[in-house]
Amino acid sequence: MAEPFADLLKESAIFVNRDALSPHFMPDHLLFRDKQISSIVKALTPSLKGERGRNLFIYGKTGTGKTSSVKYVIDEVKKLVTVKAKISYVNCRIYNSRYRVLSKIISDHLPNYAKRGYGLVDIYERLMNWVEEDGKVLIVVLDEIDMVKDLDDLIYTLTRANSDIKSGGITIVGVSNKISFKEELDPRSLSTLYETELVFPPYNSNELLAIMQQRVALGLKQNVIEQAALNLAAAISARESGDARFALKILSRAAEISDEKRLNRITTKEVEEASKSAEEEIAYELVSTLPEHQKLVIYAIALLTMQGSRYKKLTEGTETYLFSGEVYDKYAAISNSLSKEPKSSRWYRKYISDLEMQGLINTYESGKGIRGHTKLIKLAYSPEKIKGTVENGLFKESEAEGKAQAQE
Ligand SMILES: Nc1ncnc2c1ncn2[C@@H]1O[C@H](COP(=O)(O)OP(=O)(O)OP(=O)(O)O)[C@@H](O)[C@H]1O
Ligand SMILES: [Mg+2]
């Protein structure tokens, strides 16, 4: 081959700007979120005036624009250079303990201090002095707040700060897409966090269509995507979950497929192909960000699915249905083997309904006859892949934990 790169370097017939289709891309204008954005602004207005505002809790399913809206407001706040309000955005998927969150906040505002690696008490005191010295109001945005392992301690610490300091204050904005999270909180944390609540509804297919069109205009060459293909992507995403990230994932993947095949159109065929693989990928992302015990429950389901249910009658054919009870037993055994206390069966039932809400499993009532009424559970994705994802996550986490503890 004379010019091995010639083909690869040929200009794409599909893309103008690939990045514009990425879910990480932040459009200048967020569609359909004016109401939510103004609610966030309203909640933060007292803080901007130097008064401690009410805490805000934002809930909505994945891909409903929570992070984008919050970041949009933060950028606007940061432009108001005169205000005493200081803001920290914390992605709790990364900063997932009280110590890490406080360290992150201090490194945002006192970067020199932060470098020295102090312990929790020192960080807390330094932070409080800093807030107090000229009556600042610190707004702490905790995105994916459900990922914080010692959340009750964190909320307690941040709330207590308000009574410890003589001037200024701290306002908390929590963001989450987990419903059962609310019930796991200590009642005191709950009432602190939920002073005001804001819900982000899922997008319908027209809204998803408009969100995709906004990106198509930025990222693709003119008229390369068929209207029918866009409509299909919107319909699939609306039916799945009303998740804009999913819609964008299908869109960008379909575009990649056309580009790789050197086509000059994106049709419903590429969208169909893309939606299958996007669905799988999202499932693995979801699994890797589940709270620990939900992760263990889905792990138990994956292992049992690979082994086959003890109740052979139900595993005829290709589908494996598991009994809720056997899944619980397996979950408890796995927890014990990792020296973790298994949660009660009441919690377990909540986890199951959460996993179902996220589309990772399906459940059915067994009807009479099979051991009375019981719930049957079926994994919605490949058990091998789910197992691999959990093992990966757990391994990495315990390693990171070791490092963090060495620091604390
Ligand atoms: N209203 C919107 N207009 C334009 N793009 C949007 C809108 N809402 C979401 N998006 C895009 O969809 C993607 C996902 O949105 P975002 O990260 O804000 O969702 P989220 O609610 O925080 O989800 P999760 O709960 O999974 O964190 C981003 O790429 C974002 O740019
Ligand atoms: Mg988010």
Q: Is the pLDDT at 6 greater than 70, yes or no?
A: no
Higher per-residue confidence, 243 vs 9: 243
pLDDT tops 60 at residue 397: no
CATH topology of domain 34-200: Rossmann fold (3.40.50)
pLDDT tens for 374-392 read 889 999 888 998 999 999 8
For residue 342, give both structure tokens.
């298994």
The total number of residues shown for the chain amounts to 408
- Ligand closest to 24 (CA) is 1
pLDDT for 220 equals: 96
Hey, how many other C-beta atoms are within 10 angstroms of the C-beta on 65? 24
| Burial classification of residue 326, based on how many CB atoms lie within 10 Å of its CB (0-12 exposed, 13-18 middle, 19 or more buried) | middle
Percent of the chain's residues with pLDDT above 90:
61
Looking from the CA of 218 toward its CB, the CA atoms found within 13 Å total 18
Q: What's the CA gap between 174 and 141, in Å, rounded?
A: 6
CATH 1.10.10.10 fits 288-389, yes or no: yes
Mean pLDDT of 308-320: 61
Ligand 1 centroid distance, CA of 23 (Å): 7
d(Cα 293, Cα 199) in Å, to the nearest integer? 25
Give the residue, by CA position, lying nearest to ligand 1 atom 25: 62
If you average pLDDT over every residue of the chain, what do you get? 88
The whole-number pLDDT of residue 202 equals: 94
Q: Ligand 1 pocket test: which of 67, 73, 75, 142 has the largest number of ligand atoms within 8 Å of its C-beta?
A: 67
pLDDT(398) > 60? no
Please, is 4 exposed, middle or buried when counting C-beta atoms within 10 Å of its C-beta (0-12, 13-18, 19+)? Answer: exposed
Q: Which atom of ligand 1 sits closest to the CA of residue 26?
A: 31
Whether 120 has a pLDDT exceeding 80, the answer reads yes
- 204-276: CATH number: 1.10.8.60
Measure 69 CA to ligand 1 centroid, in angstroms.
8
Q: What is the mean pLDDT of residues 47-61?
A: 89
* pLDDT score of 405 more than 50: no
Cα separation, 203 vs 129, in Å, equals 43
SS3 letters for the chain?
CCCCCHHHHCCCCCECCHHHHCCCCCCCCCCCCHHHHHHHHHHHHHHHCCCCCCCEEEEECCCCCHHHHHHHHHHHHHHCCCCCEEEEEEECCCCCCHHHHHHHHHHHHCHHHHCCCCCHHHHHHHHHHHHHHCCCEEEEEEECHHHCCCHHHHHHHHHHHHHHCCCCEEEEEEEECCCCHHHHCCHHHHHHHCCEEEEECCCCHHHHHHHHHHHHHHHECCCCECHHHHHHHHHHHHHHCCCHHHHHHHHHHHHHHHHHCCCCCECHHHHHHHHHHHHHHHHHHHHHCCCHHHHHHHHHHHHHHHHCCCCHHHHCCCCCCEEHHHHHHHHHHHHHHCCCCCCCHHHHHHHHHHHHHCCCEEEEECCCCCCCCCEEEEECCCHHHHHHHHHHHHHHHHHHHHHHHHHC
Pocket test for ligand 1, best of 28, 66, 68 (most atoms within 8 A of CB): 68
pLDDT at 311 over 80: no
Ligand 2 geometric centre to CA of 66 (Å) = 6
Give the pLDDT confidence score for residue 182 in this predicted structure. Answer: 79
In the predicted structure, residue 125 carries a pLDDT above the cut 90: yes
Task: Classify strands 169-176 and 322-323 as parallel, antiparallel or unpaired.
Answer: unpaired
Q: What is the pLDDT of residues 202-240, one digit of tens each?
A: 999 999 999 999 999 999 999 999 999 999 999 999 987
Question: In which residue are the tokens 């009642």 written?
Answer: 187
Residue with more model confidence, 331 or 314 = 331
Per-residue pLDDT band for 278 (boundaries 50, 70, 90) equals confident
Of 2, 141, 125, 136, nearest in space to 58 by CA: 141
Instruction: Report the nearest-CA residue for atom 17 of ligand 1.
Output: 67
Tell me the mean pLDDT in the region 142-162.
Answer: 93
Mean pLDDT, residues 41-52? 88
Pocket (CB within 6 angstroms of ligand 1): 23, 26-27, 30-33, 60, 62-68, 177, 211, 214, 244-245, 248
pLDDT average, residue stretch 41-60: 89
Residue 69 alpha carbon, nearest atom of ligand 1: 18
Instruction: Indicate which atom in ligand 1 lies nearest the CA of residue 24.
Output: 29
- Which of 132-136, 195-199, 393-397 has the least mean pLDDT? 393-397
Tens-digit pLDDT profile for residues 82-108:
678 899 999 999 999 999 999 999 999
pLDDT at 404: 45
Q: What is the Cα–Cα distance from 158 to 195, expressed in whole angstroms?
A: 14
Q: What is the CA radius of gyration of the chain?
A: 24
Is pLDDT at 403 greater than 80 in this prediction? no
Return the residue whose CA atom lies nearest to atom 8 of ligand 1.
Answer: 65
Is residue 408 over pLDDT 60? no
C-alpha 207 to ligand 1 mean position (Å)? 12
Q: From 171, 85, 86, 168, select the one nearest 134 (Cα to Cα).
A: 168
Model confidence at 5, pLDDT cuts 50, 70, 90, reads low
Question: What residue ranges do the domains of the chain occupy?
Answer: 34-200, 204-276, 288-389
| 288-389 and 34-200 share a CATH fold | no
How far from each other are the two terminal CA atoms of the chain, in whole angstroms? Answer: 58
CA gap 390, 289 in Å, rounded: 9
Q: What is the mean pLDDT of residues 163-169?
A: 89
pTM beyond 0.85, yes or no: no
Tell me the CA–centroid distance for residue 244 and ligand 1, in Å.
Answer: 6
Contact partners, residue 331, CB within 8 Å, separation at least 6: 296, 297, 299, 300, 342, 348
How far apart are the C-alpha atoms of 111 and 97, rounded to whole Å?
A: 19
- pLDDT of residue 143 exceeding 60: yes
pLDDT at residue 144, as a whole number: 95
> Whose CA is closest to atom 24 on ligand 1?
62
Q: Which of 12, 20, 5 has its CA nearest to residue 261?
A: 12
Cβ-based neighbours of 118, under 8 Å, separated by 6 or more = 126
